[in-house]
Amino acid sequence: MEFYKYHSLGNDYILLDAMRAPLRLSPADIRSLCDRHFGIGGDGILVIEPSERAFCRMLNYNPDASQAETSGNGLRCLAKHLYETGLYPHREMEVDTPSGVKGLSVRVAGGKVRTVEVNMGRPDFRRSSIPMHGEGEEALEVELEAAGRRMTATCLSLGTPHCVIFLEDIESVAVGEIGPAIEKDPAFPLRVNVEFVQVVDLSELRQRSWERGAGETLASAAGAGAAVAAAERAGKCKRRVHVKLPGGLMEVEISASGEVLTRGPARRVFRGRLDEDWRERSRIVLA
């Protein structure tokens, strides 16, 4: 089976093409492929397959084998793949995802896709859309306690659920402790992505992300979009912002119609073919 390895600002994915033939991956297969020691390694797996609503459908699997509704960085990688392999050599695209059809726009230079704009849709702050238990229709500036620390958060859905926490300094925050505690908090029945955000000024945010089923990643487009949506709602930033992530810089804009647009690069690292025995597990035989 052929595979491709892509990343967007260090958020890396294994891409598998199932456009011509169905592909069935077990949870063990997904965990093995994403393992950086026993498999290819990645923050997730993208599977592309036919769709009746768009050119193709993208399924996104986390390293723990759970399925994410969508991924902005994954869509960026897919757009580069579709354009550069000639599967869909057009600069405007639509891709079907479990959270709806997403619009993509690619910027090309020298025959290569350099950046991709992803329309993530409109943010929804209603608890029912996240979903999130609690009082009040919207989850704005709610109190949370995790890992022995009380915090104020704004929660929303941007195709995927997000909990945004504004801090004075994100470098010193214990993402590996607080992130999983909030992710699995009973208030979030489907778990939640956690965004730790520092407002530099009205035009720049800094962010670290803890993603459901993946842990801390170098970049999250949906997370950056959620952070800007929450910050703009609270009057902390403008409608067009640069978000500095551990993996690099992403531009996020809230359009006049209220949709969140994320812009960033995508790169192909390599392509290869899985050996026939890739599913084999190591065994020690004692005489």
Note the pLDDT tens digit of each residue in 96-142.
999 999 999 999 999 999 999 999 999 999 999 999 999 999 999 99
| Fold equal for 2-116+268-273 and 127-258 | yes
Q: Is 113 helix (H, G, I), strand (E, B) or coil?
A: strand
Is residue 173 pLDDT above 80, yes or no? Answer: yes
Residues 7/269, Cβ–Cβ less than 8 Å: yes
Mean pLDDT within 198-205 = 98
Going from N- to C-terminal start, the domains of the chain cover: 2-116+268-273, 127-258
Q: Note the CATH number of domain 2-116+268-273.
A: 3.10.310.10
- Which amino acid would we find at residue 131? P
Place of tokens 């690292």: 269
Is residue 36 pLDDT above 80, yes or no? Answer: yes
Task: Encode pLDDT of 245-259 as tens digits.
Answer: 999 999 999 999 999
Confidence of residue 287 (pLDDT cuts 50, 70, 90): very low
Q: Note the CATH number of domain 127-258.
A: 3.10.310.10
Tell which phi-psi region holds residue 215, choosing left (phi > 0), alpha (psi between -120 and 50) or beta: left
Q: Comparing C-alpha atoms, which of 248, 171, 183 is closest to residue 215?
A: 183
Q: Tell me what pLDDT residue 281 has.
A: 55
% of the chain at pLDDT higher than 70: 97
Mean pLDDT computed over every residue of the chain: 95
Q: Under 8 Å CB-to-CB from 185, ≥6 apart: which residues?
A: 144, 146, 192
Supply 16's token pair. Answer: 């598998």
Task: Encode pLDDT of 85-106 as tens digits.
Answer: 999 999 999 999 999 999 999 9
Q: Is 67 exposed, middle or buried (0-12, 13-18, 19+ CB in 10 A)?
A: middle
Q: Tell me what pLDDT residue 285 has.
A: 47
Is residue 232 pLDDT above 80, yes or no? Answer: yes
Is residue 282 pLDDT above 90, yes or no? Answer: no
| Separation of alpha carbons 253 and 251, rounded Å | 7
Residues 63/44, Cβ–Cβ less than 8 Å: yes
Helical residues (DSSP H) of 72-195, grouped into ranges = 72-84, 175-183
